[in-house]
Structure 1
């Protein structure tokens, strides 16, 4: 297993390199990522390359027996390039051009920038493509991050118009599908179609969704340009990856991943300005997204937080145990390599307060020793563990286009796509169920339950797969605002939930957006919800049951008694519809009923504890992690005698109820029962 660090040799005196590499060697580091922000050093003027510093760094790292991952440096176009070719700069929604001075100051729709990017990538590939020490490449860095995913300049507009012409073929088709008859927006020339800069009200939602698709495709083709340039010049043994972020950007990570050997991820459970780390379930879901980006293939964490992070604001200081816990959480959910960001905190530049394994003084202390302990704990079992497979229990739906549609029209000031997705993901996480993220391409056959939150932008292919899944005996849990739009971001002309009405056994005739401080009240009347009640948030679909039974109703004024939660039998399967932002207690009860009836074995319920089950050959693995910083948590282990996978002698046996101190993580193993 590769355990590494992100290192910036260009930021430190060469006489310090020896100390750094000796300390890395002492830790057990075996891979180092370098080069992703070094364009101005490698090409100080157009067409003139200087690889001397990078040559020295690669050679020096290799002399300590470590491998190198090289980043293509295109995330930081140099000042000379911007001065000579200002047309590469991106343009904001308000028409303001982004200037030089930070990073990601480019639009991928600039032909000049693509040409310049290809030249530096080709030059690097020729130089290092057969070097033994270099095992792989990372293209660019965090595509689209920091709001660089969308650009609204003249080059973007021309590229957008060409993209639309290719997609629709005729203006008649575009006008029909977008509904441009509304507000006299009919286009008679492709050149009339704008990029969605600021207007007095809001742009056509169909134009906005297509613009996001265009931006995503532009990055996919830009990445393909880089991967093509690399593959033509590097050894087949060298891999190509990219380090994604998953934050609602106009990016289709799955499409980009088709041109990569595997994907990578930058894992920051806490960042500048955050007083506490994000919820453990939110981190877990991001790892699930990574695993799904290339249909279940393992991934690298190319940046794993190792210290307090921030630029102008510094976030929460990770406590003793956090580094191990977040590392174990990553590898338990599919990561095959961990690269800690960063080796040492920078003394200058924007990221001065992004602390690393070493702080500004370069002296090894607590974090250094914690990483040493993590690496030592992984040695006895990591290689076999990486081959272990996940049980297929619950599929959790995510499509970036659905998220884009919600960002275009959130419909309530209380709606946040990440928060609402977490509302429906977290109870399954608390019940220790195994989740996989899926989209249209995945085979759903082996899952017992599908959770499909806020399925606003409904697609015909996916709708059919849902019907087939339920008909064959599967269980589906839908939420409010299901089936509202079609793939063109146009509202259905069928009674809601549109094409899924028969599947859900309901109709939705009216609904209410719960804005500001408004909340609804819900009372359970049947099944696991019987006798329960509480507030509900964000939205209320007032459900008219057709064939579905009512599990909960609203309690308020004129809609008192209207159905809020329903359950329908469809074929051999069961379909739930949750018509509102149900409170956690009621949702948890509903999940317990749905999972049990679907034939899943309920695990312990604990918000602070996370468990992940995997199996390899004749060995069962169980990762157990206590995310609480204050409380020891009790965990009931599955039947059998478990041993600590980190202990070479495996002397300590764990059975039944165990207690995990705060911020403790452990991987247990036992022979598989056949």
Structure 2
């Protein structure tokens, strides 16, 4: 297994390098990522290349036995480039040019920038493609992050118009599918179509969605260009990856991943301005997204938080045990390598307060010792653990285009896409079910339950898959605002939930957006929900049943006869519809029944205790993770004798897991 650090030799005197490398060796790491922000050193002026610093740094790293991952430096175009070619700078939606002075200050639609990127990547690949220490490449850094996913300049507009012409072929087709007759927006020339800069009201939702698709595709092409350059000069033994972030950007990570050997991810459970880490389920969801990006293939965590993070605002300081806990959580969910960000906190620049394994004084203390404990604890079994299978009974559907559509029209000031997704993901996580996050390219028959949260923008292909899956005995759970839009971001003319109404056995003739300080009240009427009640946030679908059974209704003087949660038999399978943003406890109770009926393995544990299963031919691995910073918790172990590799201790029956405790138990089959 690879465990390493992100290191910036250009930020430290050469005489410090030996100290750092010696300390890294004593720590037990085996890989170092470098160079992703080093363009100005490699090409100090246009066409003049100087790799002296990185030659020496890689040579020293190699002498210590470290493997090296090189980042192409295109996330930070140097000052000379911007001075000479200011047209590469991106433009925001107000039409303002984004200045040089931070990072990610380029638009992928600039042909000049594409050529300059191609040249520096070519020179790097020719220089290090055959170096024995270099095992792989990270292209660029965090594509689209920090609002760099969308650019609205004249260059972007011309490229957008060309992309639309390629997609629609004719203006008549575009006008019809976008409905441009509305507000007299019919286009008679391609050059009339704008990029969606600020207007008095709001742009056509179909234009906005296609603009996001365009932005994602242009990044895919830019990434593909870099990959193709690298593959020309590097051997097969060197991999190519990219470190994604999953924050609702106009990026299609799954499509981009087709050009990569595997994907990487930057895992920051807490960041500047946050008083506490995000929830265990929120972290888990991001790892599940990583695993799903290449249909179950393992991934690298190219940046794993190792200290308090922040730029102008500094976030929560991870407590003793957090580094091991988040490392174990990542590996249990599919990570095959962990690279800690960063080795040492920078003394200057924007990231001065992104703390690392070492802080500004460069002395090893608690975090160094904790990383060493992690590395020592993984010795002897990590490779077998990583090679074992993560088997999922439940699938959660996620399509970035659906997320973009929600960003375009969030309906309520209370709506946040990730928060609402987690409303339906977290109860399954709390029951310790094994879940995958999928798109419409997977075989649904391998899953016992498919959950489709806030399925606003629908795809006919996936609708048909769902119908066949349920007819053949599958179970599907839908939530409010299902079936509203088609792939052009146009509202269906059918009664909601549109094309899915028959399989749900319901109609939604009326609904209501619940804004701040407004809520509904839902009462359970049948089955496992009988006697339960919950407030409903964000939204209320006032449901009328056709063939479905009513599980819960609204307590409302105007809509008390309307259903809030339903269950319908369709073919040999079952469809549930949750029409309001009810509380986690009610969804968890419903899931408990659904999973039991479908034969899904689940485990009751105290709040904040997470279990993750892995299987090999002869062993079962169980990661036990206590995210509680205050309390130890007792859990009931599955039947059998369990052992902990790092300590040799054996357990059966019950186990007390300390606060922020993390362990991997193994049982022979």
Shared fold, TM over 0.5? yes
Give the match for residue 543 of structure 1.
543
Counterpart Cα distance in 2 of 1:474 and 1:668: 32
Counterpart Cα distance in 1 of 2:19 and 2:322: 26
Counterpart Cα distance in 2 of 1:577 and 1:355: 45
Cα pair 1:432 1:611 within 8 Å, conserved: yes
Give the match for residue 584 of structure 1.
584
Please tell me whether residue 447 in structure 1 is matched to residue 447 in structure 2. Answer: yes
Deviation readout 1:264-305 (Å, 9 max, x if unpaired):
000000000000000000000000000000110000000000
Give the match for residue 521 of structure 2.
521
Give the match for residue 124 of structure 1.
124
Give the match for residue 642 of structure 1.
642
Instruction: Give the drift of 1:653.
Output: 1.4
Cα pair 2:334 2:390 within 8 Å, conserved: no
Give the match for residue 320 of structure 2.
320
Instruction: Give the drift of 1:645.
Output: 2.4
Give the match for residue 667 of structure 2.
670
Give the match for residue 632 of structure 1.
632
Instruction: Give the drift of 1:635.
Output: 1.3
Deviation readout 1:328-357 (Å, 9 max, x if unpaired):
000000000000000000000000000000
Cα pair 1:431 1:606 within 8 Å, conserved: no
Secondary structure in 1 matching 2:444? coil
Give the match for residue 19 of structure 2.
19
Please tell me whether residue 657 in structure 1 is matched to residue 654 in structure 2. Answer: yes
Instruction: Give the drift of 1:390.
Output: 1.4
Give the match for residue 404 of structure 1.
404
Give the match for residue 194 of structure 1.
194
Counterpart Cα distance in 2 of 1:599 and 1:665: 28
Cα pair 2:624 2:663 within 8 Å, conserved: yes
Cα pair 1:122 1:230 within 8 Å, conserved: yes
Secondary structure in 1 matching 2:518? coil
Aligned length: 669
Secondary structure in 2 matching 1:607? coil
Give the match for residue 252 of structure 1.
252
Give the match for residue 10 of structure 2.
10
Secondary structure in 2 matching 1:456? coil
Instruction: Give the drift of 1:62.
Output: 0.5
Counterpart Cα distance in 2 of 1:601 and 1:307: 35
1:561-576 correspondence to structure 2 within 5 Å: 561-576=561-576
Secondary structure in 2 matching 1:589? helix
Cα pair 2:529 2:552 within 8 Å, conserved: yes
Deviation readout 1:99-128 (Å, 9 max, x if unpaired):
000000000000000000000000000000
Secondary structure in 2 matching 1:559? coil
Secondary structure in 1 matching 2:340? strand
Counterpart Cα distance in 2 of 1:326 and 1:236: 32
Give the match for residue 475 of structure 1.
475
Counterpart Cα distance in 1 of 2:664 and 2:150: 42
Instruction: Give the drift of 1:446.
Output: 1.3
Instruction: Give the drift of 1:64.
Output: 0.3
Counterpart Cα distance in 2 of 1:611 and 1:142: 30
Secondary structure in 2 matching 1:99? coil
1:216-615 correspondence to structure 2 within 5 Å: 216-615=216-615
Instruction: Give the drift of 1:610.
Output: 0.7
Deviation readout 1:557-580 (Å, 9 max, x if unpaired):
210121000000011111000000
Give the match for residue 94 of structure 2.
94
Counterpart Cα distance in 1 of 2:135 and 2:18: 22
Counterpart Cα distance in 2 of 1:599 and 1:145: 40
Counterpart Cα distance in 1 of 2:604 and 2:411: 36
Instruction: Give the drift of 1:607.
Output: 2.7
Counterpart Cα distance in 2 of 1:601 and 1:389: 15
Secondary structure in 2 matching 1:600? coil
Secondary structure in 1 matching 2:41? helix
Give the match for residue 212 of structure 1.
212
Counterpart Cα distance in 1 of 2:526 and 2:186: 51
Cα pair 2:265 2:290 within 8 Å, conserved: yes
Secondary structure in 2 matching 1:232? helix
Instruction: Give the drift of 1:606.
Output: 3.1
Structure 1, gaps ≥5 residues long: none
Counterpart Cα distance in 1 of 2:190 and 2:92: 22
Cα pair 2:394 2:600 within 8 Å, conserved: no
Give the match for residue 56 of structure 1.
56
Instruction: Give the drift of 1:164.
Output: 0.2
Structure 2, gaps ≥5 residues long: none
Residues 174-183 or 592-601, more deviating = 592-601
Deviation readout 1:540-589 (Å, 9 max, x if unpaired):
00001000000000001210121000000011111000000011111111
Counterpart Cα distance in 1 of 2:611 and 2:185: 54
Instruction: Give the drift of 1:364.
Output: 0.2
Counterpart Cα distance in 2 of 1:632 and 1:574: 39
Cα pair 2:195 2:211 within 8 Å, conserved: yes
Counterpart Cα distance in 1 of 2:547 and 2:601: 28
Counterpart Cα distance in 2 of 1:174 and 1:597: 47
RMSD: 0.6
Instruction: Give the drift of 1:638.
Output: 1.0
Secondary structure in 1 matching 2:357? coil
Instruction: Give the drift of 1:601.
Output: 3.3
1:103-122 correspondence to structure 2 within 5 Å: 103-122=103-122
Cα pair 2:567 2:577 within 8 Å, conserved: yes
Counterpart Cα distance in 2 of 1:145 and 1:349: 18
1:135-214 correspondence to structure 2 within 5 Å: 135-214=135-214
Normalising by structure 2, what TM-score?
Answer: 1.00
Residues 479-488 or 593-602, more deviating = 593-602
Secondary structure in 1 matching 2:228? helix
Deviation readout 1:586-612 (Å, 9 max, x if unpaired):
111111111111112331143311110
Instruction: Give the drift of 1:534.
Output: 2.0
Counterpart Cα distance in 2 of 1:273 and 1:307: 14
Residues 235-244 or 468-477, more deviating = 468-477
Counterpart Cα distance in 2 of 1:609 and 1:216: 37
Give the match for residue 85 of structure 2.
85
Instruction: Give the drift of 1:443.
Output: 1.4
Counterpart Cα distance in 2 of 1:319 and 1:516: 34
Counterpart Cα distance in 2 of 1:665 and 1:96: 48
Residues 596-605 or 41-50, more deviating = 596-605
